[in-house]
């Protein structure tokens, strides 16, 4: 049996059609499998990512809860700190007041040379105070007199503050009042200044007030 040209062409066209169909089917199957594999892999990754996101979300929620708790504690601690600071300041003021009360009977003597009092400081200092009061006033009684603080100046002109404790508070007030009426206190050629003894913290606050005091003094305004 001989094949004609038309038979060959028809056979080729049939082969071509069948080949295309098989190739299309194989490609479709391969693409479907790859697509399914990709989708499965993507779903696995999305599941993992979702799990991780949920885990991170839970941790963020826990962190926010902890931060809120810490904020509440910090706020409470700040309130406690303010209260303790106020209480501490009140205690400082009370201690300062008690210290100043313990200084009520004391006069601080400044700018007096160390050698001015001679051999007996207990006798010399009352004489200075007595010179400020009227002659008919009874002798001043001092419970004690002693030097305090650091020495200032050269050895031959060194000065050191003194504290004198009066036996009678009212007499101390009279001495201070008399000293305020004088520009300076001097006895037997020895100059000095008399001040009410005070707590260091009170003196520090008064130091801050000094510019106002100097302004008042320059304007001739009396203050106490």
DSSP assignment of 60-86 equals HHHHHHHHHHHHHHHHHHHHHHHHHHH
Q: What's the pLDDT score for residue 153?
A: 65
Of 194 and 209, the one with more pLDDT: 194
Confirm if 155 and 147 have CB atoms less than 8 A apart.
no
Q: Look at the pTM and tell me if it is higher than 0.95.
A: no
What does the pLDDT look like over 44-67, one tens digit per residue?
888 888 888 889 889 999 999 999
Confidence of residue 69 (pLDDT cuts 50, 70, 90): very high
Exposure letters 160-199 (e unless 16+ CB within 10 A, then b):
bbbbbbbeeeebbebbbebbeeeeebebeeeebebeebbb
Q: Which domains does the chain have, with CATH numbers?
A: 104-197 (3.30.70.1820)
**For residue 179, is pLDDT > 80?**
yes
Asked if residue 130 has pLDDT above 70, the reply is yes
SS3 180: helix
User: Which tokens sit at 218?
Assistant: 């320059």
Strand order across the 142-147 sheet? 142-147, 162-166, 106-110, 190-196, 185-187
Beta-bridge partner residues of 58: none
Residue 3 main-chain phi, psi, to 5 deg: -100, 135
Query: Can you say how many angstroms the Cα of residue 41 is from the centroid of all Cα atoms in its chain?
Result: 60
**Coil, helix or strand for 161?**
coil
Cα–Cα distances (Å) from 45 to 38, 53, 55, 203, in that order, read 10, 12, 15, 76
């Amino acid at each position: 049996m001989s094949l004609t040209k038309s038979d060959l062409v028809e056979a080729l066209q049939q082969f071509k059609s069948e080949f295309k169909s098989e190739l299309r089917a194989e490609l479709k199957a391969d693409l479907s499998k790859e697509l399914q594999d990709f989708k499965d892999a993507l779903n696995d990754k999305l599941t993992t990512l979702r799990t991780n996101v949920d885990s991170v979300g839970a941790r963020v929620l826990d962190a926010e809860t902890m931060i809120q708790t810490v904020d509440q504690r910090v706020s409470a601690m700040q309130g406690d700190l303010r209260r303790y600071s106020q209480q501490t300041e009140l205690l400082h003021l009370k201690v300062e007041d008690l210290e100043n009360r313990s200084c009520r009977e004391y006069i601080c003597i400044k700018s007096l040379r160390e050698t001015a009092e001679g051999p007996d400081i207990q006798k010399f200092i009352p004489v200075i105070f007595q010179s400020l009061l009227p002659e008919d006033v009874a002798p001043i009684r001092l419970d004690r007199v002693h030097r305090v603080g650091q020495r200032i100046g050269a050895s031959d002109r060194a000065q050191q503050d003194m504290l004198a404790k009066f036996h009678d508070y009212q007499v101390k007030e009279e001495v201070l009042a008399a000293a305020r009426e004088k520009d300076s206190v001097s006895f037997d050629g020895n100059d000095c200044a008399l001040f009410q003894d005070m707590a260091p913290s009170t003196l520090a606050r008064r130091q801050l007030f000094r510019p106002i005091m100097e302004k008042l003094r320059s304007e001739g305004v009396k203050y106490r």
